[in-house]
Structure formats: C-alpha cells, structure tokens
Structure 1
Amino acid sequence: MELNILRDIPDVLLTCRPDELYGEFGGPILLEIGHQDQPPLFVSTLLHGNETTGFFALQRLFADYRHHPERFPRPLIVLFGNVEAASKGLRRRDDQPDYNRVWAGGTSPEHQWAQEILHYLKNKQIFAGLDIHNNTGRNPMYGCVNFLNEKLVYMASLFSPHIVYFQKPDGVLSKAMAQFATGITIECGLPGVPEGIDQVYDYLLTLIHLETMQEIHHGSQGVNVYHSRSRLMIPDNFSLAREESPDAEQADFVLPKEFDQWNFSELKSNAVLMRRNNPKGFLIVQNESGDHVQEEYLEFHGSEVRLRQSTIPSMFTRDVAVARQDCLGYLMDRLK
C-alpha cells in the first residue's frame, strides 16, 4: 500500500469533499504540519470511509492554520485513512479489511501499512493520539478508552462526560496507540452533523493548546464511564430488515424503529429488542473473551427477542449493511 506523506497543506484539501480525496491522492494520506519543538498531536479520520465529521472539523482547522500558524503551539500529524471507501461513501469496500481492525499486526498489506504508521508515530514521540469516528445510529457524543488509565480518562473527559471502556474488537488504532502514548477514540454522532463538527473542532483546539495531560479516576464526579462487555451480531445466514422495509415480513429478524434510540439508556430485563420471523433464527452475543454468551442475554418469546438481564446499549444501528459488516451494537454496564 502506498502512503502519501505531505509536509504542507495542499490547496485542494481546504475545499474538497471526503469523496474526492481518492481521486486527488490515490490512497491514504499522512499530513504533517508545524515545526515547533513541542511533541505533535496525532489525529486520524476516515478509517471508516463514510464517517466524515473528523474530516470536516480538520478542514476548518487547516483553514485556521493557513491564516494564523502562530496560533498552533504544537505540530499536527493527520492520517486520512480509507479514502478509497470514502470515494464511494462506504465504511469499507467488501474486499477490504476494516481499517480500524488492522493495528494489532498481521500479514496483509493493510496490516503492514498500519505497523509502518505506528512506527512513524513512536519515533515522533507524539503528545497524544486521537482517532475520530461516527456512529450510524443515534448516540450521544462520547469518548472511548481501552485501558482505565487516568490520563486516558482525562483526555476523553475533555470531549464528553460519557466514556466507554472497551477491550473488543481487537486491532483498533486507539488500543495500539495507548501502548506508547495517550491515545483514545471519539465517537461523534451521525456523520456530517454541524453540531458534531463544531464539537470536534473545539476539542482539537483544546488538545493543540493543552500543555500537559492531567489524570482523573474513572469514578470521579462529572464523568460517566461504561464498560462495553459484549457485542451483538447476526449470523451471515440470517436476513435482517427494518420494520418499515418492504422485505420486513420475509426477513429472519426485524429491527424496530426505536432500536437506535435506546443507545446509552438502560434497558430492563424482559425488554423486547426486535422481532424474529424465523423460529430457527438466532443471534450471537460475544463477550470480551470471544465466548458466545447469548443464552445469558437473550431469550425468545414467540416472535419476540427479549433481554434476560438489564443492559445499556451503545452503537445500536439500523443500518443493515453496517450491521452485516460489523455488528448490531454493544451491550454495556456502568462502572462505579
């Protein structure tokens, strides 16, 4: 895989759309600007090609830098990831690996590319690393940490009081970065929403001007830290539809209209998650150890899929393609 390394902001980057990056650059881009003595801030966006909020926030930041570089006290390194998928408005192409699952090592060109970037960032001794994402379902803005480290929690709390601690899935960029720097993920709501772009832009300015990374405990007042314990998935051999879709009556599983409205709210035991038309259909719930634990979480009553225990959903999505490529969402509980 080719990686374009740029030392200055090209004019086109100030005006283009995310779906035009591939046509302009032909592949992922690593941009490094600023020459100050401070350790750089690293920011990644478009690891999933249809998650565009980070791109638009950075574009605004680049315009600021063009006019007032003296207002940027530390250098900035930016990765634009799966620009090929972005050209099609996709999370990833079907023949590609997920660009946020390749950071733990492997043999594919994408895995080797990821290791080259990590090596580059280690050598740069970055101040902090930030990977910017969007959700396909309705969620509040929140930060994600892979370790209950006080600096990670502090960095996430500067973005949102809602913080998710997770260990799975493997191969995410934030977990790889956290081995050698303060590195987190932020989830910024639905793609391209102005409020999300504004909040990410403000957060980037905060990090650029931050002198030191303080420490706060995950149980501190003012932050809500959740533990993402399990992942809800549909097997490939079962079909899925939204309840308003024309194919809903023929689908094995049917998602209600309110499915993604439950994110970050507690669902009690016996709550109905969705409808099952196929009596032989089943869902998979996978915990952090990779074990299938659906019997602990789910039960069937006629055509209803119900919860056996209370849980707090996150990233529940009604996007059938994303549910197929990734998952239906995650099941959490609140850390005390």
Structure 2
Amino acid sequence: MQLGKSFRILQKPSAEDVPASVTDFLVQLGGPAVIKLDGRDKRRCRFVVTLLHGNEPSGLKAIHQLLREDFEPEVDTYLAIVSVEAALTEPQFSNRYLPDQRDMNRLFAPPYSDAQAMLAAELLDIIRRVEPEAVIDLHNTSGDGPAFAVAVEEQPIHMDIAILFTHRLIITDIRLGALMESPGLGCPIVTIECGGAAQALSDTIARQGLKRFMTEAELARPMLPDSEKLAERDIYRHPVRMELKPAGRLCYAEEPCPGMDITLPLHLDRRNFGIVGPDSPLAWLSGQGIRNLRVVDAHGHDVIDEYFVSREGKLYPRTFLKLFMVTTNPSIAVSDCIFYAVKEVDHTHLQTTRRTLDSIDSGARD
C-alpha cells in the first residue's frame, strides 16, 4: 500500500463517515493527517499529537471513538495522527517504526535531513501556524505499567494538564529530539504515557483524559476551597537512562542466559513506579556485565556508579530509586534504553486541593 508522506489537513468528518474499525480509519486517512475539530470557542485552539510510534495506539483509539461520537470540543482542536504506515504494516500496531526508518520522536530538532525528519519539521510548522494554547502528545509505554506524564518545564500549567490523565509528572532535563522539547511553540507541551499498549486501562485513560483536555474551559485552573477533594500529585525530577553499550548483549529470561552480559527478568516491567533499593536485585550479570551498561544523565555523562552496583553476579541499585519506562522488548532495550530511573530524593509527593476529577487510573496507582 502506498501511503502519503506529508500531512493531509482535514476537516472533521461526520460520525457516519468514520469507519467502525480503527484499522479502516487509518486506511481511510491514507497517511499522516491533521484533523480539525471546530469548538464552541473559535478564538482559541489546542493541539493533540498521537501515533508518533506505530505500536502505541491508545491515543488513536481515543480519537477514533470521539470522532464516531461526533464530539464537540470547547475550543478548536487539531488532532495529528502521524505514523500511519508503521501502524498498518503487518503485524499491525506492532512496529514502533519500520526497519528502514528512524524513531519519529527523536527527529524534532535539526538537521531535517530526510523524509521522516521533514515530516517532523512540517508538524512543528503546522503547530506554530495555528498557535495553540497547549499541545499534548499521547503515547503508550513499551511495557506494562501505570500512566504518567513528562514535561521539560516545571510550571503549574504542566501539572494542570497532566492531572487530566494522571497524578504522576516527570520533569526531564534529558534531550533526545522529542516533540515536547521543541522550542518556540509558545505554549506548554506535555507528553502523556497512557500505560502499556496491551492494557485496557490505557485506552480508558487516553479516552477520558482526552475528553477532559478538549472540554475544559480553562486548562490553568485556580485552587479551590479545602472542602474539595484532595488530588494526589507526584513529581519526579532528573531522570537518567539505563542503556546497553554497543558491544553489550542482553536477553530476557527467568534465569541467567549463557553468553549474555545481562539477563533481565521477563516481567521486569512490574517494577514500573515501584521503589527499588539496595537489596532489590534487578538482573543477572556476567563477569563483565556491568561494564557493558551505562547510565546516562542529562549532560550525557555515564553515572552508573552513582546508581547501580554489581554484587554476586546481580545488578543492584546503590540507593532507593523509582524505575519507569521499563521495557520487556529486546529490540527497544538495545536500540533505545532498558529503563529510566529517578532517585527517591528527587521525588515530591503533594496533596493539593483541586477540582474533583473522576478517578480513571485508580487501578494503576502505586
């Protein structure tokens, strides 16, 4: 199937014209697309991006359902659906990106040297042109786990947006070329990780959170009286990435794999947002295992000795950590990272009086 390589700008289709299946909806789009929904207030707009990765469909499913419901947002809303070709390539919704492509969410910074990067630049141009008051980027995690949000700035508006989906917000100073890092857009950008693609709860979080994002009259909401429900807030700062060095070899198994530098448990993603400490073994290591791992901070430095230690053939934390984005996909572990971590000393738990929100991720709380 030959699909379009640049964005089609579409007006909202009638509910009757939206196919019943998500797959048929993507086929109908024919490639990357931006769909405009007219809102009650046409003086302002908001922007939603999803499917930057073809194997992360919760945001797409949410958009598809809202279109079939003929949903009307509070303000004009633009819905960008990006990696249509990767999503439709068999096996469908299993390809993060195609073998001859790069990770789309690493291309939102110069140079824009190929067709994919030019598509990223085109999306940024569209966002700048419509001047939204906020941008959200909907994803799934590569392993099972609870929902969380990520931003590169720590302002009240970022948590106000995040809390529509989740009580967890990570403030990252790592720069990878992701959409949320893009300067000059003139508005807050928040990445929403809805949870694992195979978790039904992830689709619920995406759908209900997106409805809230599209129906709130004001995204920046004032503090309310103490009689209102207390909302949890968890803020994590200064994450680092656990990566496999180029010469390293890894596998996932329930016992050490011969010839592998690191063997990760099959269900390592159960550690997502759980606290691990110096007595928590995380993986099996060969004699040289830890030397084939690195922990990269925001400055690009390897700080593994500050975070982890090899002891009796196993990998242990040096201090209390919270892990997130733990993957059980070997290709992602090799090409991207094994997991992210933050020190518990860089975690702030708050309870603030906010407008009552329906609980949509109670099943994913710590």
Q: Which of residues 248, 252, 269 is equivalent to 2:257?
A: 248
The whole-number CA distance in structure 2 between the counterparts of 1:318 and 1:216 is 40
Question: For residues 21 and 246 of structure 2, what CA distance do their matches in structure 1 show?
Answer: 37
1:185-220, CA deviations, whole angstroms, 9 ceiling, x for partnerless residues? 111111153322222211112111212222689xx9
Letter in 1 for 2:168: H
Contact map agreement 1:46 1:81 (CA 8 A) in 2: yes
How far off its partner does 1:323 sit?
0.9
- Say if 1:240 and 1:289 are closer, same or farther in 2 by CA, change over 3 A: same
Measure, in 2, the Cα distance between the counterparts of 1:252 and 1:20. Answer: 44
Q: 2:66 aligns with which of 61, 67, 71?
A: 61
Task: Say what the alpha-carbon RMSD is for the aligned residues.
Answer: 2.5
Tell me, yes or no, if structure 1 residue 3 matches structure 2 residue 4.
no
Query: Is structure 2 residue 106 aligned with structure 1 residue 121?
Result: no
1:152 and 1:182 in contact (8 A); partners too: yes
Deviates more, 1:115-124 or 1:284-293: 115-124
- Within 2, Cα distance between the matches of 1:133 and 1:17? 16
From 98, 104, 109, the counterpart of 1:104: 109
Taking the aligned partners of 2:306 and 2:83, their CA distance within structure 1 comes to 37
Tell me whether 51-60 or 233-242 shows the greater mean CA deviation: 233-242
1:248 to 1:84, Cα distance in 2 relative to 1, 3 A: farther
2:32 and 2:17 map into 1 onto residues whose CA distance is 15
Q: Go from structure 1 to structure 2 and tell me whether the alpha carbon gap of 1:103 and 1:13 turns closer, same or farther (over 3 Å shift).
A: farther
Aligned pair partner of 1:273 in 270, 282, 289 = 282
Runs of 4+ in 1 over 4 A off after TM superposition: 10-13, 23-26
Q: Does 1:205 align with 2:211?
A: yes
Asked whether 1:46 is paired with 2:46, we answer no
- Work out the CA distance in 2 between the residues paired with 1:2 and 1:73: 28
Q: Distance in 2 between matches of 1:15 and 1:212?
A: 32
Gaps of 5+ in 2: 224-229, 349-366
Q: Which amino acid aligns with 1:28?
A: P
SS at match of 1:14: coil
- The AA in structure 2 aligned to 1:279 is Q
Whether contact under 8 Å (1:175, 1:184) holds in the other structure is no
When structure 1 is superposed on structure 2, of 120-129 and 174-183 the one drifting more is 174-183
Partner secondary structure for residue 190 of structure 2: strand
Query: Deviations 1:272-308 (Å, cap 9, x if unpaired)?
Result: 2201135355201000111111122222224212222
Residues 112, 121 of structure 2: 8 Å contact kept: no
Q: 2:300 aligns with which of 290, 295, 308?
A: 290
Partner of residue 142, structure 2: 136
Write the mapping of 1:90-239 to structure 2, written as runs, cut at 5 A: 90-108=95-113, 109-176=115-182, 179-214=185-220, 222-239=232-249
Separation in 1, partners of 2:347, 2:311: 31
User: Given that residues 58 and 140 in structure 2 are in contact (C-alpha distance below 8 angstroms), is that contact kept between their aligned partners in structure 1?
Assistant: yes
1:13-32 to 2 correspondences below 5 Å: 13-18=18-23, 21=26, 23-32=27-36
Cα distance change on mapping 1:309 and 1:216 into 2, 3 Å: farther
C-alpha distance in 2 between matches for 1:269 and 1:178 = 42
How far apart in 1 are the matches of 2:58 and 2:184? 23
CA distance in 1, matches of 2:281, 2:21: 44
- Answer whether contact 2:18 2:68 (CA < 8 A) is retained: no
SS at the partner of 1:233? strand
Alignment size in residue pairs:
328
User: What is the distance in 2 between the residues matched to 1:213 and 1:20?
Assistant: 30
| CA offset digits 1:21-71 (Å, max 9, x no partner) | 3x5444312212226514222111110110011111111110111xxx5x4
Amino acid at match of 1:323: A
Stretches of structure 1 lacking an aligned partner (at least 5 in a row) = none
TM-score by length of 1: 0.88
Partners of 1:173 and 1:292 lie apart in 2 by 25
